[in-house]
Amino acid sequence: MPIFGILVAYHTDVARLDSILTVLTPQCAIVLADNSEDHARSAEIRAVVLRHGGTYLAMNGNQGIGAAQNAALDVARRNGADACLLLDDDSVPAPDIVSVLLAACQALGGCVVVCANALDCGGREIGNVRTHGRRFAPCRDMMSSGSLIPRLVLDEVGSFDGSLFIDGVDFDWGWRAQARGVSIVLTRETSITHRLGEGTAAGVRVPSPVRHYYQYRNVLLLMKRPHTPWRWRMAQAFKLPVKLVLIALLMPPRAARLRHAFAGIRDAVRGVTGRMPPSEPTSHATLH
């Protein structure tokens, strides 16, 4: 049963990528789509992928995670993939992740996506779902990294929404899948070790400033979509203003963060999608 690992790189830590591929290559074929904008870093990433026998796709600049995932998935399907494991370039998988997720898919049967348990570096669960010792737990909000998606589900649900660029791409796809009768399940029997944010403020994970643009814009865009759960919409309606207060009080550089957040709100109202317009200042370091 051909299984493909799908990764997206963006100015990736090459040593970490090498560690990921060392674990993943014995388990499945590899397709990596590279969104990096630094030619030297892209050359390093390409060399690591080819050394592990994987397929390297140059996206020729940062096209966003959805577009890159779609490009890699297209290659996998053209090469006969029966299922694809999505993985971030900073998520280290367990050495049994493919076999465990595949066995879970077969045990559950039907149209199902099975997701590995996401852990931080201290072994704590960091996803939106807690297993509480259960073998499987239903998952409303899918995190793509560590998810095994059978081909029949990919064919039924369709592509990831590249217009969102980054934040909310996996949630949107998962909600569309569930609207079509697909079950999304988390298992505690295998895991990924995942890195989120760039630091903490008052114990809260803090992203780079530009991510506030995508978070605010995309949350507001997703709230308009018919497949978006009402409970999620109501929760976000409460969280968004609270986050603005926290940014203003606790998260330097406050002015840059607030500027990006309000730009995201403005562009959501205007219906702007895709990459943040160039009128908003940014840098390579803040786009990941």
Condensed to tens digits (0 to 9), the pLDDT of residues 230-279 reads 999 999 999 999 999 999 999 999 999 999 999 999 999 999 999 999 87
Question: Residue 30 CA to chain centroid, in angstroms?
Answer: 17
- pLDDT tens digits, one per residue of 200-235: 554 456 789 999 999 999 999 999 999 999 999 999
| pTM of the shown model | 0.92
- pLDDT tens digits, one per residue of 59-72: 999 999 999 999 99
Q: What is the CATH number of domain 3-193?
A: 3.90.550.60
What is the residue-wise DSSP string for 187-199? EEEEEEE---SSE
- pLDDT tens digits, one per residue of 48-100: 999 999 999 999 999 999 999 999 999 999 999 999 999 999 999 999 999 99
What is the residue-wise DSSP string for 135-199? SEEE-SS--STTEEEEHHHHHHH----GGG-STTHHHHHHHHHHHTT-EEEEEEEEEEE---SSE
Q: How confident is the model at residue 102 (pLDDT cuts 50, 70, 90)?
A: very high
Report domain extents, the chain.
3-193, 199-286
